């Protein structure tokens, strides 16, 4: 992935009614030093982020990503972002993206320790080539996330369901999956229910019904999953949020891990048990996800 563009933001108050935020933005060299050594995003992972897919210069599902950024800010007690300001920044970053697929990242940090204000910035870069995994699929293993499905309600301070910069566990899970000969992981609760992948949402097909784990177990509500469900609803399919036992994974007629940059990747096997791949439906999913969507 080659970084192409970086923009530092002076965060505006959420109730700032301006329509032009150009004075709040500063373009920087993506390769140059930019953060203080006291920055809490790097010291403690104390911040939130969003990754927005870009197709031929068009940023996808921007409103959904901004709303999730605001949701994460509430969970983390960060100042509410001014969504108009962030939308303006996304538009500037997208204008620097060439033809093909790119990714824009939004980062909001608590800032410097004891500092006066949060730190915020946006980057734009070329996206990895995900064509192979979209076509061929991936093999996954289930990994215990270490808590039961009721923990998020009992312990909101764990920030389950917020998209924070503290991704060390997510990356460790992917490394563990690869050490077991798989490509990715699917988290399950300690009492045996399916949750999500480290960087993706899970969708299962059972006949003409499409289901995803209910977001009551500290699951990050996926923007791509939401968009695909809207697409399926328009096509006359039934979509549902359910509490799914881990044992039901391999009983599915098909399964996908979906995310903003990788899009829809079919799951070929879970814990060594093969799952059918619906190549035609997968291709239709990715055709839709690669089309311009606001």
Domain 131-289, architecture per CATH: Alpha-Beta Barrel (3.20)
Average pLDDT, the chain: 95
Which class would CATH give 3-126?
alpha beta
Start and end residues for every CATH 3.30.470.10 domain found in the chain: 3-126
Specify the pLDDT at position 50: 98
Specify the pLDDT at position 294: 85
Diameter of the chain measured on Cα atoms:
55
Specify the pLDDT at position 3: 66
Q: What is the 3-state secondary structure (H, E, C) of the chain?
A: CCEEEEEEECCCCCCCCCCCCHHHEEEECCCCCCCCCCEHHHHHCCEEEEEEEEECCEECCHHHHHHHHHHHHHHCCCCCCCHHHHHHHHHHHHHCCCCCEEEEEEEEECCECCCCCCEEEEEEEECCCCHHHHHHCEEEEEEECCCCCCHHHHCHHHCCCCCECCCHHHHHHHHHHHHCCCCEEEEECCCCEECCECCEEEEEEECCEEEEECCCCCCCCCHHHHHHHHHHHHCCCEEEEECCEHHHHHHCCEEEEEECCCEEEEEEEECCEECCCCHHHHHHHHHHHCCCCC
Specify the pLDDT at position 187: 97
Cα gap 199→25, rounded to integer Å: 29
Cα gap 265→202, rounded to integer Å: 10
Q: Are 183 and 138 in contact (CB under 8 A)?
A: yes
Specify the pLDDT at position 201: 97
Specify the pLDDT at position 262: 97
Start and end residues for every CATH 3.20.10.10 domain found in the chain: 131-289
pLDDT tens-digit readout, 176-225: 999 999 999 999 999 999 999 999 999 999 998 999 999 887 888 899 99
Specify the pLDDT at position 216: 80
**What is the block-wise mean pLDDT of the chain (294 residues), using blocks of 10 residues?**
85 95 96 90 94 98 97 96 98 96 97 88 96 97 95 90 93 98 97 96 96 88 96 96 95 97 98 97 98 91
Specify the pLDDT at position 115: 79
Specify the pLDDT at position 279: 96
Cα gap 69→95, rounded to integer Å: 21
Residue 113: CB atoms within 10 A of its CB come to 12
Specify the pLDDT at position 111: 94
């Amino acid at each position: 992935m080659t970084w192409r563009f970086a923009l530092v933001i002076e965060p505006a108050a959420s109730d700032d009614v301006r329509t032009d935020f150009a004075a709040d933005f500063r373009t920087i060299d993506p390769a140059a030093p930019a953060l203080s050594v006291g920055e809490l995003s790097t010291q403690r992972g104390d911040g939130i982020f969003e990754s927005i897919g870009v197709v031929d210069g068009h940023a996808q599902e921007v409103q959904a990503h901004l709303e999730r950024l605001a949701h994460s800010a509430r969970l983390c007690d960060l100042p509410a972002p001014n969504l108009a300001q962030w939308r303006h920044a996304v538009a500037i970053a997208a204008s620097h993206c060439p033809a093909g697929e790119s990714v824009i990242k939004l980062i909001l940090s608590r800032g410097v320790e004891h500092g006066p204000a949060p730190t915020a910035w946006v980057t734009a870069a070329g996206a990895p080539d995900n064509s192979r995994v979209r076509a061929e699929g991936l093999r996954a293993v289930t990994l215990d996330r270490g808590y039961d499905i009721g923990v998020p309600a009992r312990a909101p301070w764990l920030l389950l369901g917020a998209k924070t910069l503290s991704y060390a566990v997510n990356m460790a899970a992917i490394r563990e999956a690869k050490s077991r000969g798989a490509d990715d992981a699917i988290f399950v609760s300690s009492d045996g229910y399916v949750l999500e992948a480290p960087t993706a949402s899970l969708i299962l097909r059972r006949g003409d019904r499409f289901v995803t784990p209910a977001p009551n177990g500290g699951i990050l509500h996926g923007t791509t999953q939401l968009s695909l469900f809207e697409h399926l609803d328009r096509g006359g399919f039934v979509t549902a949020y359910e509490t799914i036992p881990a044992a039901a994974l391999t009983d599915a007629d098909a399964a996908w891990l979906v995310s903003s940059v990788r899009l829809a990747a079919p799951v070929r096997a879970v814990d060594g048990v093969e799952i059918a791949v619906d190549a035609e439906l997968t291709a239709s999913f990715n055709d839709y996800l690669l089309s311009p969507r606001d």
